[in-house]
Structure 1
Amino acid sequence: MRPIRLLVPANIRHNSGGNVYNARLVQALRALGVYVGVLAVEGSWPESTAKERRRLGSLMGAWEPKGHHGSVVTLVDGLIAMGAPDELEFAAKARQETWVLVHMPAPSRHELEARALRAASGVICTSSWASTTLEARHGLSGLRVALPGTDPAPVAQGSIPPHIITVAALLPNKDQLLAVEALARIQELDWTASLVGSDQADPEYAAIVRAAVAAHGLENRVRLAGELKGRALEDEWNRADLSVLASQAEAFGMVVTESLAHGIPVVVRQGTGAVEALSFAAPEAEPGKRAGAHLPGTAVTFPSDADPKNPALLAGVLQRWLQDGATRDAWRAAALETRNRLPGWEQTAAHVLDILGG
């Protein structure tokens, strides 16, 4: 396989799903014997200066004689690509092989995104949801999908009272505020909770979440743990009985499969790519059982005519899980069975190699 150059945004420093995917993909590709060079590209991507875009163009070989870069395959993170369609178009004219790796379709700047994807030699999406969204949005075809892998993990022991965990940087899209408001509605029940994730990605939103915890008198029950790694993060997973990912938009939600790897069921938002993560390795329902009966958790549906931030809907799901032992047992059993079906990063890397080689 030819050497691969991976261009990643230098401005995303918190522990995002895209960063984790990029890092684990590189490790797995190198383990397969592929040379992978990783370059962090300066810029406030997708925003950037003309100087930063020129440097990006140079890294892609956009200004070189046609085919001069020919022995290298360049893989550009989608956050960078949608901010530099001109440079991708120049790279295409120079006959450079430049692929775009899309973690999340752009919430705006759709025309720039379309130009960048059309100029690329190919597009790899990290979820089927992202691929379907982009194909419908831009009339594209032939987009490829390489789902994230999952690292094996020990089974969580759980806690008494039950412990609920949300693992994501504190950002408006991740909607930790919704989780706090939902928990505030079930204070009569026994539970504790942790919000694990960077409070520096959006300090203003983090302050709003922290204020909501205080306003509801939940300081002794809801812990804002900050971004954790290594042993500290594993200790949080080990305490957990349920994982909640209430993101308003999610391409896949790698934290869902990370939860399942620990045998922890998950609550996600219906209509997001996190539903794919919850169900793609789930055990099949027995004949005669309703669809979704064997899911290791559930997806909360927010009706189109309801306030999408209505915490009562999420509170109802959490209340049922806390009070209904049969539901808790069924979700836990499905999560334990699912953890043995999760693909590893070596499978992701091998699939990316097949895509690029093809």
Structure 2
Amino acid sequence: MTDPLYAVLPGDIDDPAAPSGGNTYDRRILTGLAATRAVHEIAVAAPWPYPSEDDQARLAGELHGLPDGATVLMDGLVACAAPRVVEEQAVRLRLVVLVHLPLGDEPGAAPDLPARERRTVHAAHAVVATSAGAARRVEQLHALPVGSVHVAPPGVDPAPETAGSPAGGRLLCVASVTPRKAQDVLVEALHTLDDLDWTCVCVGSLDDDRDFAARVQARAGDRVRFPGTRGGAALAASYAEADLLVLPSRAETYGMVVTEALARGIPVLATQVEGVPEAMGKAGDGTVPGGLVPPGDVQSLAGALRRWLTDEGLRRDWRAAARARRGTLRGWDHTIRRLSEVLHP
């Protein structure tokens, strides 16, 4: 058994009412790492990334109690919002910061967050991102040396193949309903397709930005459903009933739902942002299992959806590529191995 690992996490990591790709990633890697070393979790309940001075003092107190030289994996949502704490503790602790999404990339983020994040990543012993695209963005944003941010992409679990319906009209979006996930763009694109046969299910929390969610729902129309958060068997059932995953995000460091869909042989239509092309990947023969459009571009998204719904040959090609891509997807063991190399070189 190697040296113990300490992990600093948002307090809601295991809250079923607040699922997120970041929380899922954290839980899966910590479970995997615990198979080879002792893992001590420090869950810090606070309004991250907007902590008060008292919140930061509590975090500092938790870190102060750790032994000198300890390796500490810090979720970036916590670490990047508390640079003073990170700078003080980095003198005696080996701090590794996991950046799921640069704080400034979240629409509506406080303008001081990028500067706080910059201080954190420069103080940390090592920085990890979840895709090569995200790593390069963190380096560029914060003037870090090229290649200095490590990459540990999410894994994906094997899943049964989804057959798909002939017409391809069952559209699925899996994401919290927020400005970054851009369901507003999707709804506007769907309004241009009233002459075609389709339905769309938008699975995801309606509570992260309630005003935005209410506006999107009011605009959506009766062919778009918003069932809220789904997990486990309910989420698996949503995938089983889908023909195409649509992810219209304005920013996305990886997009775990992309590989979740591809693990079922479901093609993906997403935006060309940061790590999404990496998650989409290619089949062994070089074909792409779906399409990529510019973020925030209603016309491009609408055009791609129309082609999917009206072109049988396109549906056949995307589905064949998605089925082939299933065999090239990596599991969580690869993620855990990559992160282990950073934590304990």
Check whether the contact 1:104–1:130 (CA below 8 A) recurs between aligned residues: yes
Take 2:285 and 2:61, find their aligned partners in 1: how far apart are those partners?
49
Correspondence for 1:154:
160
Q: CA deviation at 1:39?
A: 2.2
Take 2:283 and 2:27, find their aligned partners in 1: how far apart are those partners?
26
Percentage of pairs with the same residue: 39
Correspondence for 1:321:
308
Establish whether residue 296 from structure 1 lines up as the match of residue 289 from structure 2.
yes
Take 2:328 and 2:245, find their aligned partners in 1: how far apart are those partners?
19
Q: If the length of structure 2 is used for normalisation, what is the TM-score?
A: 0.91
Q: If the length of structure 1 is used for normalisation, what is the TM-score?
A: 0.88
Check whether the contact 1:4–1:75 (CA below 8 A) recurs between aligned residues: yes
Check whether the contact 1:283–1:295 (CA below 8 A) recurs between aligned residues: no
Take 1:272 and 1:131, find their aligned partners in 2: how far apart are those partners?
9
Unaligned 5+ residue runs, structure 2? 105-110
Take 2:26 and 2:81, find their aligned partners in 1: how far apart are those partners?
19
Correspondence for 2:124:
120
Which aligned runs of 4 or more in structure 1 are off by greater than 3 angstroms?
A: none
Q: Secondary structure at the match of 1:211?
A: helix
Take 1:283 and 1:179, find their aligned partners in 2: how far apart are those partners?
30
Q: CA deviation at 1:282?
A: 3.3
Q: CA deviation at 1:160?
A: 5.8
Take 1:100 and 1:134, find their aligned partners in 2: how far apart are those partners?
12
Q: Secondary structure at the match of 1:190?
A: coil
Q: Secondary structure at the match of 1:174?
A: coil
Establish whether residue 340 from structure 1 lines up as the match of residue 327 from structure 2.
yes
Residues 41-94 of structure 1, C-alpha deviations (whole Å, 9 max, x = no match): 122111112221112112223x77xxx333x3211111111111111111122x
Residues 109-163 of structure 1, C-alpha deviations (whole Å, 9 max, x = no match): 2221111111111111111112101111222122111011111111113236520
Take 2:117 and 2:157, find their aligned partners in 1: how far apart are those partners?
31
Which of 96, 101, 122 does residue 98 from structure 2 map onto? 101
Correspondence for 1:206:
213
Take 1:11 and 1:189, find their aligned partners in 2: how far apart are those partners?
41
Q: Secondary structure at the match of 1:249?
A: coil
**Letter matched to residue 341 of structure 2:** D
Take 1:11 and 1:29, find their aligned partners in 2: how far apart are those partners?
20
Q: CA deviation at 1:232?
A: 1.2
Take 2:53 and 2:203, find their aligned partners in 1: how far apart are those partners?
37
Q: Give the length in aligned residue pairs.
A: 331
Check whether the contact 2:189–2:302 (CA below 8 A) recurs between aligned residues: yes
Unaligned 5+ residue runs, structure 1? 286-293, 303-307
Take 1:123 and 1:284, find their aligned partners in 2: how far apart are those partners?
34
Establish whether residue 177 from structure 1 lines up as the match of residue 175 from structure 2.
no
Take 1:258 and 1:329, find their aligned partners in 2: how far apart are those partners?
20
Take 2:87 and 2:38, find their aligned partners in 1: how far apart are those partners?
26
Take 2:37 and 2:329, find their aligned partners in 1: how far apart are those partners?
24
